[in-house]
Structure 1
Amino acid sequence: MSDVYIDPSPVNFQAFKDLPRDEPIHMLNLLLYRDLAEYPEGHEHHGNGWSGRRAYEEYGKTSGPIFRRVGGSIVWRGAFQTMVTGPDDRQWHDGFVAQYPNSGAFFEMIKDPDYQKAVVNRTAALVDSRLIRFKPGEGGDGFG
C-alpha cells in the first residue's frame, strides 16, 4: 500500500489556512477503516473490540452537534465500489462531501474542546484517509 494519511501535515494545513476564509467550502472525505479500532491506552473505548467503522460512527455521533452548530452539512455521501481511474491497490470504504459556510466554521469546529475529544474516535477508526478542499461550483448536465 502507498503512503497513508490520517491528519494533515503542517505544510498542507498552512496551505488550507492561506486560502480565502470568507467563502463556502466543500471538503471531500475518503475513508479506509481499520479492521479493529486503535484507541490510545487509557481511553474509555480502549480494548472494547470496536471495528474501525464502529469507532467512526462514534466520531460522527460525538462531533455531529459541533459540525451542525458551525453550519456544516453533508451534501453527498457514498460507499466505495471500485477504482475506475487510479492505482489498483487503492480502495476506500466510504466517501462524503461536507459543506461549511466558510473555512472559519471549519476552524471553529476543530478548535472546539468537545470536538478535540471526539476526533480521537476518528484517529482510532482510520487506517488511511484523504481530506481535500474544493471551492463549490455549479452542478449541471455536462462535464465542462
Structure 2
Amino acid sequence: MSEVYIDPSPTNFQAFKDLPRDEPIHMLNLLLYRHLAKYPEGHEHHGNGWSGRRAYEEYGKTSGPIFRRVGGEIVWRGAFQTMVTGLDTRKWHDGFVAHYPNSGAFFEMIKDADYQKAVVNRTAALVDSRLIRFKPLMVGAAFG
C-alpha cells in the first residue's frame, strides 16, 4: 500500500507558507474515507458508528460557516470513477477544488477556534487525503 496522509508535513506546510499570500488560490482536495470514522476516546462522536463519509459531512457542516466567512467557495466537486494516469492502487472517493481569495484567508480559517474543533471530524473521517495548492489560471477551450 502507498503512503497515507491526513495532515501536512512541516516541510510541505512551510513551502505553502512561503508562497505569495496576496493572490487567489485553489486547493485540490482528494479524499479517501474510512469505513468507520475513528474519533478519539472522549469525543462526543466517539462510538457513534458513523461512516467516514458521514464524519466528513459533519466536518463540512461545522467548518462551512468559517470557510464561507473567510471568502471560501467550492468551485468544482466530483465523485471518483477511475484512475486514467497514475497508480491504480489509489482509488479516491471524492474530490473538490476550494477557492480562497488568498492564502491569508486559508490561514484565518485554520487558526479559528471553532474550525480547530471541527477539524477533528475531518481527521476521524479520512484514511488518506491530498491537499494541493494551485494558482488559478485562465480557463477556456484550449489547453495552452
TM-score category, normalised to shorter length:
over 0.9
Residue aligning to 1:126: 126
Residue aligning to 1:15: 15
Residue aligning to 2:93: 93
Residue aligning to 1:108: 108
Given the two structures, how large is their TM-score scaled by the length of structure 2?
0.99
Where do residues 72-87 of structure 1 align in structure 2 (5 Å cutoff)? Answer: 72-87=72-87
| 1:7-52: CA deviation from partner (whole Å, max 9, x where unpaired) | 0000000000000000000000000000000000000000000000
**1:86 is matched by which residue type in structure 2?**
G
Residue aligning to 1:141: 141
CA distance in 2, matches of 1:114, 1:135: 27
CA distance in 2, matches of 1:128, 1:142: 33
CA distance in 2, matches of 1:69, 1:86: 36
Percent pairwise identity: 90
CA distance in 2, matches of 1:61, 1:131: 19
**1:11 is matched by which residue type in structure 2?**
T
Residue aligning to 1:55: 55
Residue aligning to 1:25: 25
**2:96 is matched by which residue type in structure 1?**
F
CA distance in 1, matches of 2:17, 2:87: 29
> SS of the residue aligned with 1:44?
coil
CA distance in 2, matches of 1:118, 1:38: 14
CA distance in 2, matches of 1:95, 1:137: 19
CA distance in 2, matches of 1:4, 1:143: 31
> SS of the residue aligned with 2:142?
coil
**1:30 is matched by which residue type in structure 2?**
L
CA distance in 1, matches of 2:88, 2:10: 29
| 1:84-126: CA deviation from partner (whole Å, max 9, x where unpaired) | 0000101100000000000000000000000000000000000
Residue aligning to 1:68: 68
Given the two structures, how large is their TM-score scaled by the length of structure 1?
0.99
Q: Which runs of 4+ in 1 moved over 6 A?
A: none
